[in-house]
Structure 1
Amino acid sequence: MKKLVCLLLVMLALALPSLAAARGVEPTVGGQGGRIIRVTTLAKDGPGSLAAAIAEKGPRIVVFEVGGVIDLGRSVLTITEPNLTIAGQTAPSPGITIIRGGIDVQGHDVILSHLRVMTGADGQPHFSGWEADAFSTVGAHHVLVDHCTFMWALDENMSASGPRFGGKDLAEWRANTSHDILFRENLAAEGLAFASHPKGEHSKGSLIHDNATGITFYRNLFAHNEERSPLLKGGAQALMINNLIYDPGKRAVHYNLMDLEWTGHPFVTGQLTAIGNVMRGGNSTAPGLPFLTIGGAGDLAYYGRDNRAVDRFGKPLPQTGRYGETAARILPSDAPLASTAGFAILPSGELETSLLRSVGARPWDRAADDIRVLFFVAEGRGEIIDDEHEVGTGYPRLAPSRAPFDPAKWDLVTMTPRNGIYPGQKAEAQESLSARDRAMRK
């Protein structure tokens, strides 16, 4: 019996898509070849903490000998030192969940994988100024964000940001803001709408800031965000392949070069290549919402292929639209504006089933809120929320766990277990079941 269970687990590991194969073009190797730093405490800082490991210098691979919740107490972890890999997949079950905070990357050559970040309003009053992103790059470059879960942000759930005009010309603007960022297999869900952000409503998926380039979204799930799934600002260049946008509010994908922000600077045409994506309306989606809308004053060069947009009942929605009566134009391109080499691309009609199996942190060892969101997407349920308590009891309460990390049992290049079995791997379907549900399935 024991051998059978082990065999089933190995088969499950091999069946999980995109964990070790079809990885696309990775922009960095992170801390590969560097020293191993073990996280041994769930404290937000101090010896053995994730914060201490992040602050170390030189190439390093951060692994976890503890699982549970890291409470940042309304602060942000800032990564400035380069050549870093944070491998959340090494943590014992239930993995690593960061609450009441977020992560900003300000350095380069960084890999983050299999972390959960649940920012939350934490009871702060409306307009009070608590406005953290769950994750953002800030003038960073060559970053891979892989199989993470970002929820309940007060600003964006996951973004690529930085200075708008850092330098004397366009080449310097682009070099000095975020560039060469790959978001792969992430869940970005339930950005909080009317919470503590000083601007009021701010349920946002992803922002690609002005002049950011080489930004790629591959096989991500955006769910229950009012806007920005993603928003490209002026002059930004992005590639979107096989993403699912479920239950956007007033805008899904959109572009906006704002004249008020570009005063005194020549406009730069943005670029977007979108292939095999799906936008599916839900309970919060505005009627007639297009897949892509344009606002502002600048133009967007656009190549789109095999993108589906439907309402909550499967009725087709427009591919493009606009907000604001300005001169901004969507300029169709006959060929992709970014290279798609190295990416396995599914037909849009096959995307949803594939993505729901693999997206987010630790798909072999799901957290309760991840399961809830994924099942709601599959069932056509859920909506945009204002506070984390609207969908349960708030922040997760997880018992801490411990297990030593043995580097001999891991491939330190791919950061995958040599026997194919991840910590906490489940052989059965992962569902949120009540006591009655469990009794009926026996």
Structure 2
Amino acid sequence: MNPDRRTFIRTLGAGSIAGLAGCSALSGDDDTDTPEGDTEPTDGEETPTATSTPESTDTDTDTQTDTGGGGETEGPTIITLKAAGADIWNTTDLGHIYFAEVSGDFDARVEVTSLENTNPHAKAGLMARAALDPGSRNVMVRKRAGYGLSPQWRPQDGASTTSTTSEAGAPLSRVEGGMMENATWQRLERVGDKIRAYGSENGEDWTLMVELTTDQIELPDTVVLGLAATSHDNANATTAKFRNLSGVEPTENQDLGNPIISGSVSVAQAAVVSDLGADASPESATLQGTLTSMGGADSVDVRYEYREATTEEWTETDATTLSESGPAEVDISGLTPRRYYEFRAIADTGDNEFSTVAQLFSTPSGSDGSSEEGPASSSNVDPADGFADLAPWVDDDTPLVVVDEPTRESLAAATSIPGPRIVVFETSGTIDLGAEDLNVRNDKCWIAGQTAPSPGITLIRGGLWVYGNDCAVQHIRVRPGTAGQDEGWQPDAIEVADDTSGNVVDHCTGTWGVDENINVGYDTNNSTMTNCLVAEPLNDATHVKGEHGYNSIIGDRAKNVTLSGNIWALGTDRNPRLKQGTETVVVNNFVHHYSDGMWADPETKHSIVGNVFEDPQTDQPNIFGEGSVYAEDNVQRDDADVPMIGDGISQLDSRPLWPEALEPVSSSDVRSHNLEHAGARPTDRTETDERIVANIRNGEGGVIDSQDDVGGYPELAENTQSLDVPTSGLRAWLRKQAAAVEP
């Protein structure tokens, strides 16, 4: 790689960046996946079940129609819908609709090209309703600013709305998780008494999301059919743009209900800029594009807007005036090395402006290519000692994404970049997730909590889910708690999600989970969990199953899982539970004050070595179940009369699996070592972590039902600092930052 020049382009389409302030791209984020049941609605909207998101999505360059003769092409017709209103949801709607009355069967299709993120639940899409009354029964295929594509419906006039991502409607979903993350095309069809909602990524290959019969909703023969939107914000209107509408020809528009801000509709032929690109050096770039349609104008002014990803304000370039189609490029300067930048082209015809979907480029570091690794962890086990490679994708040009305020929005924007990124912190503090999990959708994300100033970062009122591959999470504390929710709220603190590989969770704290604290999901491969403090799961809280004070679960068929240097404490079960078909290495962990220890399900293989057990609350064997286990140097530290290995375990004569770099220490060293080293920022512990560690050390504390039993959610100081990142040796710098908060 040439260290001075690098081009990196990635489209911000559906499911790409969520939470970017003012971003008009179709963003996807913050979908909650609860394997044992969906969470309850929050803030007037349901919390959806999640699906995985790939790194990139299709571009939003406008479709053109050949006019013949090899000349200029016509731009597409763009429908721009402005809409305010609290929501289209629950028992009544506030928004705007562009519609026609249609009788009998219909088949309407449209592409949603952009939706302004006034709120993650702002939505836009095709809608069929019985009437224009705000409480009328209806069906909508919705694109939401913070989520994927999914159907919703109100079954009867004045009834509550449901969807394929909420508890009542999820059983009817034909797609996993109730939504399509990358679909931008919508289709709403009625055939006889059946209504079908589809999604598509290309407008040709359609996926059925739900089929509704008269058991779910019965619409009259003549319906109001068209495009609807809402901002989910009483004080602001959102802007939604559509193209390629077919199957209905709207002629009228009006507000649904009485939003504070009235909506509007405009229709125009678009001027089109396509083939966007950027040629970047550490501090400058050339932005490029081609005007391919004049949109019926005699001349078009093409300019660019750009900003560092996750920031709010755009910088605008001078415009280039073109009287015919052709290239338009501009040089920009004053950029920061090793950053992602978002840019878009604006085509101004004099009567209308047309914006492309924003794209990303990254600036290189200017490094000469250092290969320095930096120090190993001071713990007995390094995060690179397991089966997972620790972020092998990191090089000196890997972009940093800065979180400079302790808010969900800032962290979500940073983690959602659709490309390799290292999330660093120039602030400390408590980040309130707002009773929703925060999901890392895209691969190759290193959340480096060690870079934060003291006292670091704590997430509350929600969990952190890693859906990407080859990710790393270090020195972060996550404390979901009950979050003011009712029964059915059952978050994990940290979850390595199903079907992922190569993920590392190191030196993290997970407490006050309602389902479990820190987990590795089903069908995962090469996952590592090291040096974590896993304690105080909530027992009799808001889980639908009742008492559930569980610490960790390794999901069915998870292979090559390394669990080493951790503390599991002050819970009841799953310390950890190794579910059916799993293959794990469980080494040098400390289990304290527990009912059940290590539970090995049938058809499993484990190397369980050098673990310490203390203060059991039952006579259950420490290692039990029906799995196959190689056990060595596991000890009961106290005088409890508890068998080490249960009768159902098939004991092996040799290790069935073992990562090459892992070297166990004697169990005699484990308790004191783990109490000193486990958890986030062990030399900079918060009061909550200090209390937990002291309770474990002194044999105090026990199972709790609420975070309020032990003082409630923390409020950490919001300290700030500017990070001084060297040009070369990025990986070594990250390791040094970690060493600075480890003993």
Q: TM (normalized to structure 1)?
A: 0.78
Q: Distance in 2 between matches of 1:188 and 1:44?
A: 23
Is the aligned partner of 1:278 residue 2:596? no
Is 1:291 matched with 2:622? yes
Q: CA deviation at 1:338?
A: 0.9
5 Å matches for 1:395-414? 395-408=713-726, 411-414=729-732
Give the counterpart of 2:491 among 132, 139, 150.
132
The 8 Å contact of residues 28 and 110 in structure 1, kept in 2 or not, is answered as: no
1:268-347 map, 5 Å:
269-281=603-615, 285-286=617-618, 288-294=619-625, 299-310=626-637, 313-321=638-646, 329-347=648-666
Partner of 2:444: 83
Match of 1:108 in 2: 469
Shift of 1:19: 8.6
- Secondary structure of 2:485's counterpart equals coil
1:195 aligns with 2:541: yes
| SS of structure 1 residue aligned to 2:434 | strand
SS class of match (2:690):
helix
What's the counterpart of residue 41 of structure 1?
A: 405
Shift in alpha-carbon separation, 1:245–1:59, aligned structure 2, 3 A: same
CA distances 1:34-69 after superposition (whole Å, capped 9, x unpaired): 111111121211xxx111111101111110011101
| Residue 179, structure 1, aligned to residue 540, structure 2 | no
User: What percent identity do the matched residue pairs reach?
Assistant: 32
Q: Find the residue that maps to 2:433 and give its secondary structure.
A: strand
Match of 1:214?
Answer: 560
Q: Secondary structure at the match of 1:239?
A: strand
Q: Deviations over 1:336-364 (max 9, x none)?
A: 01114311311111111111111100011
| CA pair 16-234 structure 1, distance change in 2 beyond 3 A | closer
Mapped partners of 2:389, 2:740: distance in 1: 23
Write the mapping of 1:423-438 to structure 2, written as runs, cut at 5 A. none
Deviation at 1:105, TM superposition (A): 1.2
Q: 1:372: how far off?
A: 0.8
Mapped contact 2:620–2:642 kept (Cα < 8 A):
yes
Q: Is the 8 A contact 1:279 1:308 kept in 2?
A: yes
Which amino acid is the alignment partner of residue 552 of structure 2?
A: S
CA separation in 1, counterparts of 2:376 and 2:731?
A: 21
Q: Which has the larger radius of gyration?
A: 2
Cα distance between partner residues in 1 of 2:563 and 2:381? 18
**Alpha-carbon contact 1:16-1:357 (below 8 Å) kept:** no
Q: 1 CA distance for matches of 2:515 and 2:737?
A: 40
Shift of 1:289: 3.0
Residue by residue over 1:191-221, the C-alpha shift from the partner in whole angstroms, topping out at 9 and shown as x without a partner, is 0000001111111111111111111101000
Q: What are the residue-to-residue correspondences of 1:363-382 with 2, within 5 Å?
A: 363-382=682-701
- More strand by percentage: 2
Q: Indicate how the Cα distance of structure 1 residues 189 and 409 shifts in structure 2: closer, same or farther if over 3 A, else same.
A: farther
- Say which of 669, 674, 686 aligns to 1:350: 669
Structure 1's consecutive aligned runs of 4 or more residues displaced over 6 angstroms after TM superposition are none
Alignment of 1:223-262 (within 5 A): 223-249=569-595, 251-257=596-602
Structure 2 residue matching 1:141: 3-state secondary structure:
coil
**Contact 1:66–1:403 at 8 Å: present in 2 too?**
yes
Residue 506 (structure 2) aligned to one of 146, 149, 153? 146
The alignment covers a number of residue pairs equal to 365
Q: Is the Cα contact below 8 Å between 2:607 and 2:658 reproduced in 1? A: no
Q: Is the 8 A contact 1:120 1:154 kept in 2?
A: yes
Within the candidate set 499, 511, 516, 1:156 is matched to 516
The partner residue of 2:386 within 22, 25, 33 is 25
2:450–2:737 CA contact under 8 A, matched in 1: no
SS at match of 1:373: helix
Read off the aligned partner of 1:224 and give its amino acid letter: L
For residues 345 and 207 of structure 1, do their structure 2 counterparts lie closer, same or farther at Cα, with a shift above 3 Å needed? same
Alpha-carbon shift at residue 417 of structure 1 (Å): 6.6
SS of equivalent residue, structure 2 residue 646: strand
Shift in alpha-carbon separation, 1:178–1:379, aligned structure 2, 3 A: same
Shift in alpha-carbon separation, 1:43–1:407, aligned structure 2, 3 A: same
The answer to whether the 8 Å contact 2:383/2:528 transfers is: no
- Residues 355-385 of structure 1 deviation map (CA, whole Å, 9 limit, x = unaligned): 1111100011111111111111111111011
Q: Distance in 2 between matches of 1:123 and 1:352?
A: 35
CA offsets 1:145-198 (integer angstroms, 9 cap, x no match): 000000000111111113xxxxxxxxxxxxxx2111000000000000000011
In the superposition, relative to structure 1, how do residues 22 and 115 fare at CA in structure 2: closer, same or farther (>3 Å)? Answer: closer
Structure-1 separation of matches of 2:466 and 2:624: 29
- Residues of 1 paired with 2:381 and 2:666: CA distance? 21
Q: State the one-letter code of the partner of 1:398.
A: L
Can you give the 5+ residue segments of structure 1 that lack an aligned partner in the other structure?
1-13, 163-176, 258-268, 323-328, 427-442
Compared with structure 1, are the counterparts of its residues 219 and 410 closer, same or farther at alpha carbon in structure 2 (3 Å cutoff)? farther
Asked if 2 retains the 8 angstrom alpha-carbon contact of 1:206 and 1:228, the reply is yes
> How far apart in 2 are the matches of 1:255 and 1:379?
29
